[in-house]
Homo-oligomer: A and B are copies of this chain.
Amino acid sequence: MTTLSALLHPDAFLSPLAIDAATLRALDEDLGRAGDITSIATIPEDAKARAIMVARHAGVIAGLPLAFATLHRLAGDIEIAAHCRDGAQVEEGTHLLTIAGPARAILAAERTALNFVGRLSGIATLTADYVRRTAGTDLRICCTRKTTPGLRALEKYAVRCGGGFNHRFGLDDAILIKDNHIAVAGGIRPVLERARAHAGHLVTIEIEVDTLAQLREVLDTGLADVVLLDNMDIPTLSEAVTIAQGRVVLEASGGVTLESIAKIAATGVDYVSSGALTHSAPNFDIALDIEV
């Protein structure tokens, strides 16, 4: 028998508390007040079923622990055997899980379980597409805070499953100074000085710049850890790398597509961030083939 933790990606964290909360909420909205009235009406109480969760196309899987928890919430006596775990690269037709137990419970959990795996595998797969195109370089792909409201921890986990990295999980993770902050504080040096004065020693400071002149100004202060190069074209990014000489970590954002990513990697920036990884990943098509 597989356990929930054996389905988690070995190097990415997803809290058991988050799994509990997410599956409770999702089942609650699907069961409503009267539950799966179709199965109650048509399937005998003691009918057993066997189901196989199958990938309908190639990609990277994420979300199996949520499927596991969803199924177990509806019946204590469900048995799940795993054929892969989160982070696995699969082909069309790959079996993910084999499930055996009460037919009504499996049918009631089906859609919720698939919704989790479909959404998170979609994100993992898109992330892996980006990562694959930068193979052999040091570029790291990371997501942003443009996540589905209420699902951030899950979606950030899916990005890790796809081989990506995470930017801030929230506003409190790091300081990220943008144009408004610079304007109010009266310039790049004063804003960085205020940030340093306020921040403790475990808080990283990143600042967004639009021009190479701004980049130079940041470098002169020696007060930033990371510089976000916003919407710069490829030649400008290359020049930024030359200017920075490794004194700060460089992150590029804007105009990141599957087409442009290899070129961005070639400039030598350290990180690329893209909101599309989480907010516009297409669903991964997963099926549950059930035999009652």
Contact = CB atoms under 8 A, between A and B. Distances in A.
Given A149-B151, A283-B146, A170 B226 contact: no
A258 interface: no
B28 A17 contact: yes
Given A33-B156, A37-B172, A115-B148, 8 more contacts: A5-B76, A15-B35, A32-B33, A107-B180, A116-B149, A142-B201, A149-B151, A167-B202
What is the oligomeric copy number?
6
Interface stretch (A38-46, A91-99, A237-245): A38-46
A290 B180 contact: yes
Given A40-B12, A167-B202, A292 B180 contact: yes
A32 B156 CA distance: 13
B76 A3 contact: yes
A84 interface: no
Interface stretch (A53-61, A192-200, A211-219, A260-268): A192-200
Interface of A: 3-5, 10-18, 22-45, 47, 49, 66, 73-77, 102-103, 107-108, 111-112, 114-116, 118-119, 122, 140, 142, 145-153, 156, 165-178, 180-181, 183-185, 191, 194-195, 197-204, 206, 225-226, 249, 251, 270-271, 275-276, 279-280, 282-283, 290, 292
